[in-house]
Amino acid sequence: MFIHPQINPVALSLGPFQIHWYGIMYLFAFLGFLQLGKVQIKTRPWLFWNEKMLDDAFFYGAIGVIAGGRLGYILFYQLQYYLREPIEIIALWKGGMSFHGGFLGVVIAMILTAKKYKITLLSVLDFIAPLVPLGLAFGRIGNFINAELWGRPTQFFLGMIFPNVDDIPRHPSQLYESFFEGFVMFVLLWLYSNQKRKTGQIAALFLILYGTFRFLIEFTREPDSFLGLLFLNLSMGQWLSIPMLLAGIYLFKKN
């Protein structure tokens, strides 16, 4: 059994200005996206991308991640709270980002990128899919540092006590997600995309892997207290992941 280290979510304070670990994790995610994108451009010429296209995809995508992630969290999870406390909408350092909302925001951003360069949306998604998982890993590490999104009670040997919650061992579900949805997905997608594939198949594999990992790991994650479990005793995260999984299977078979 382990005990959560209770890391201070503020990495650095400079007078009234504070730098939060959660924000640093987003910085790592964005830098990783750019660096991996440059590697793809140099080593995978069949993708026909250049650094100007990468910079534009990054710019639009970063806006999509932040705006979509926040809006998705508000709409999918805590609408009533933010209607009561609208000032809290801008408090991004406290967490409260929805992957599924961020995903939709990125798709919209990639539509703009595709239109600008007159290429297909699927070819854009194929390019960025292997660049995303490491960012997801960093994001979940940020959740772990914030001691949020903890898991359900367990006797599993990896059980961890979160003192800010109670003294019951719980699954460190943030770390499960960081490992599987982040590092494992990155390795699988990077290896799969290391040779030319049919358009849409890399994006399809991303959807299949994320939908599967998220659906399964949600069984170890404590449901949000303000939502609980929904129809068929599934969480909101599971219900939002099912369409991703189905879309990925359809797209993979179609292409």
Binding residues: 140
Say how many C-beta atoms besides its own lie within 10 A of residue 172's C-beta. Answer: 22
End-to-end CA distance of the chain: 46
Cα separation values, 56 from 40, 61, 116, 237, 250, Å? 15, 8, 9, 30, 29
Rounded-to-integer distance, Cα 137 and Cα 186, Å: 9
How far from chain centre, in Å, is Cα 105? 12
Compute φ and ψ for 161, nearest 5 degrees.
Answer: -85, 130
Q: What is the largest CA-CA distance in the chain?
A: 56
Cα separation values, 149 from 20, 98, 152, 217, Å? 17, 12, 10, 12
Rounded-to-integer distance, Cα 27 and Cα 50, Å: 22
Q: Listing from the earlier edge strand, what are the strands of the sheet with 2-3? A: 2-3, 160-161, 169-170
